[in-house]
């Protein structure tokens, strides 16, 4: 019995030893991979819009090398006053104003005369209201003609022959004293052209535009060849604006006159763009960098002109694209040590500045990132 049991014990220890050795090798592989493997985390940054307004000074008559102040942009400035005059067409329409549209016959069938004052109302059956132009006395048992005009000229249309009552009289007298028309009363002549407030505003705007264009054309002739490539604009100030008509005047045409002071300027937009880039970058969070400046977004507005220093201060609006920069504190290898791919993905999903993340372990199949931060690298796209 003792002799037959010995081989079984030996084989059992052998199998156990082999399993223990295999586990040891697996553990060694796992530990060595964790300690000596590598992880590359590829971050695709989401670009976001950056915008801002900044003040920039344009200085006349200096070259780029002569301007030590980075906030100053070299350029050319020229001031001149222009006078212009132009005839414009009136766009308004108003009813033609006439003193009267005709006469009515006032009839008095009572035994007493009746005095009617100017503006006394005379009403037609269809609701058309006329008024007496002058004071009249209607004799007893007699008639008198009186000139009338419509109460609302713009709404009045031709009135056919009819009988008219005088609403201002007592009802008992309205049947005794009344008006009559023996022929149609015309509408009064329709509408005529008239100057509107908008006409006057548009005329001034047109003159400002025309004189500004003339100023730029003259200014261009003063520039050197290299300066003609500069961006150009004008600062405008209306010194005087007049017209030979006012709103409501019944005229077909009117003449407007304008005196305009123009400060024309040309500046090096390349240098200005560099300043704008710097301003945009400085306002970004420390985790971001400016990726691109949109040249089409640049908008300029003159803020101040100093004729003594020959300087113009511009307010510049600009837009660009920003993104997470490679050295951002968000890309911290120590925070990734020992994490799985899923955990790394989840970590970055919280940040809108990260568009997507790709995680690569080496060797392939490594369950977690190395525990040594020095073996974890970031790539930003």
3-state DSSP of 164-217: EECCCCCHHHHCCEEEECCCCECCCCCEEEECCHHHHHHHHHHHHHHHHHHHHH
User: Does the residue 128 lie in any domain?
Assistant: yes
- Does residue 181 share a domain with residue 112? yes
Q: How confident is the model at residue 1 (pLDDT cuts 50, 70, 90)?
A: very low
**361: nearest Cα among 39, 118, 97, 60:** 39
Per-residue pLDDT, 184? 83
- The H or E element spanning position 29 is helix 2-36
User: Does the residue 29 lie in any domain?
Assistant: yes
Per-residue pLDDT, 229? 84
Q: How far apart are CA 291 and CA 61, in angstroms?
A: 33
- C-beta neighbour count of 144 within 10 angstroms: 17
Asked whether the beta carbons of 159 and 179 are under 8 A apart, the reply is no
User: Does the residue 12 lie in any domain?
Assistant: yes
Residue with tokens 């002549």: 189
Range among 24-33, 98-107, 178-187, 212-221 with highest mean pLDDT value: 212-221
- Total number of domains constituting the chain: 2
What is the pLDDT of the chain when averaged over all its residues? Answer: 85
What residues form DSSP beta bridges with 178?
107
Domain containing residue 13: 1-36
**239: nearest Cα among 217, 257, 261:** 261
Asked whether the beta carbons of 259 and 239 are under 8 A apart, the reply is yes
Which domain-ending residue is among 189, 223, 255? 189
User: Does the residue 368 lie in any domain?
Assistant: no
- Does residue 101 share a domain with residue 32? no
- Does residue 31 share a domain with residue 112? no
Phi, psi for 64 (deg, rounded to 5): -60, -35
**Average pLDDT score over residue span 105-125:** 95
Which domain-ending residue is among 189, 208, 235? 189
Q: What is this structure's pTM?
A: 0.54
User: Does the residue 147 lie in any domain?
Assistant: yes
**Average pLDDT score over residue span 318-328:** 88
- Does residue 101 share a domain with residue 30? no
**50: nearest Cα among 245, 282, 379, 375:** 282
- Does residue 108 share a domain with residue 184? yes
User: Does the residue 32 lie in any domain?
Assistant: yes
Higher pLDDT, 66 or 345: 345
- Does residue 108 share a domain with residue 28? no
User: Does the residue 262 lie in any domain?
Assistant: no
User: Does the residue 178 lie in any domain?
Assistant: yes
């Amino acid at each position: 019995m003792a002799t037959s049991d010995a081989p079984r014990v030996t084989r059992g220890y052998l199998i156990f030893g082999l399993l223990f050795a295999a586990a040891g090798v697996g553990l060694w592989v796992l530990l060595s991979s964790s300690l000596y493997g590598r992880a590359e985390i590829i971050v695709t940054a989401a670009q976001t819009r950056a915008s801002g307004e900044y003040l920039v000074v344009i200085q006349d008559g200096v070259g780029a090398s002569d301007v030590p102040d980075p906030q100053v942009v070299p350029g050319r400035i020229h001031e001149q006053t222009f006078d212009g005059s132009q005839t414009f067409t009136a766009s308004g329409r108003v009813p033609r104003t006439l003193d009267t549209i005709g006469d009515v016959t006032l009839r008095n069938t009572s035994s007493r005369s009746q005095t009617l004052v100017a503006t006394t109302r005379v009403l037609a059956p269809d609701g058309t209201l006329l008024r007496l132009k002058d004071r009249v006395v209607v004799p007893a048992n007699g008639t008198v003609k009186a000139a009338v005009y419509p109460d609302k000229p713009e709404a009045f249309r031709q009135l056919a022959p009819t009988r008219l009552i005088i609403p201002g009289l007592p009802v008992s007298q309205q049947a005794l004293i009344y008006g009559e028309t023996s022929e149609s009363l015309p509408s009064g002549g329709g509408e005529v052209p008239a100057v509107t407030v908008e006409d006057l505003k548009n005329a001034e705007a047109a003159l400002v535009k025309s004189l500004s264009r003339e100023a730029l054309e003259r200014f261009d002739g003063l520039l050197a060849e290299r300066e003609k490539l500069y961006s150009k604009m004008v600062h405008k100030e209306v010194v005087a604006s007049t017209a030979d008509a006012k709103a409501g005047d019944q005229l077909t045409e009117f003449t407007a006159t304008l005196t305009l002071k123009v400060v024309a300027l040309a500046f090096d937009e390349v240098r200005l763009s560099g300043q704008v880039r710097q301003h945009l970058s400085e306002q970004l969070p420390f985790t971001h960098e400016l990726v691109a400046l949109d040249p089409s977004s640049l908008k300029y507005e003159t803020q101040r002109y100093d004729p003594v220093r020959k300087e113009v201060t511009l307010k510049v609006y600009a837009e660009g694209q920003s993104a997470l920069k490679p050295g951002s504190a968000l890309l911290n290898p120590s925070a990734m040590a020992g994490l799985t791919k899923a955990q790394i993905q989840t970590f970055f999903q919280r940040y809108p500045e990260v568009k997507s993340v790709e995680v690569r372990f080496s060797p392939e199949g490594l369950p977690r990132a190395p525990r040594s931060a020095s073996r974890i690298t970031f790539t930003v796209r």
